[in-house]
Structure 1
Amino acid sequence: MFPETRAQMSEREKIVRAPELQEWIGLSRSTVWRLVKVGEFPAPIRLHGNAVAWREQDVNEWIKSRPLATTEQENGSDEQDNQKPAGG
């Protein structure tokens, strides 16, 4: 194998195996597979046999597509629920 230049290394597609993926995105293995099954998370690529990995770029795009959490969402409340009715 020949030494790669820095430019060639950055062009090379990076992949992430399941344990690293779980740590990175904070979801369990079963949740990741459930989301893949329903089309809400990128499908992995097959490396060999049962070995799979995810393209880093696909996961980054998924992360960017996620809505930002707000204080109201984190507390389980909605801003409208906290408003008092008029005249009361």
Structure 2
Amino acid sequence: MTTTRKFLRLPAVIEATGWSRATIWRKVKAGVLPAPIPIGPKSIAWDAEEIAQWQQRCIHASRGSS
């Protein structure tokens, strides 16, 4: 069975990361933050699960966990 994935638009990613729009794009370009997914001809969004996993990696790194 396929599970439904949630997409986050840029304002939600800004809220989740605390970063500005410009910083988000710099982090995506640097490979720090997952890249967005095209969801339409002029629309993009981030996979909510990928953002959650990135947040977990940040938490583990800050706590010295592996």
TM bucket (normalised to shorter chain) is: 0.7 to 0.9
Q: How far is the alpha carbon of 1:68 from its aligned partner?
A: 2.3
Residue aligned with 1:47, SS:
strand
Q: Structure 2 CA distance, aligned partners of 1:57 and 1:31?
A: 20
Q: Which residue of 2 aligns with 1:17?
A: 9
Q: How far is the alpha carbon of 1:43 from its aligned partner?
A: 0.4
Specify the code of the residue in structure 2 equivalent to 1:14: K
Give the TM-score, by structure 1 length. 0.62
What percent of counterpart residues are identical?
A: 33
Q: How far is the alpha carbon of 1:39 from its aligned partner?
A: 0.7
Q: Does 1:35 align with 2:27?
A: yes
Q: Where in structure 2 are there 5+ consecutive unaligned residues?
A: none
Q: Select the structure of larger CA radius of gyration.
A: 1
The CA deviation string for residues 21-49 of structure 1, in whole angstroms up to 9 with x for no partner, is 10122111111110100111100000112
Q: RMSD of the alignment, in Å?
A: 1.5
Instruction: Looking at secondary structure, tell me which structure has more strand per residue.
Output: 2
Q: Where in structure 1 are there 5+ consecutive unaligned residues?
A: 1-7, 70-88
Larger RCO (CA under 8 A, 6+ residues apart) = 2
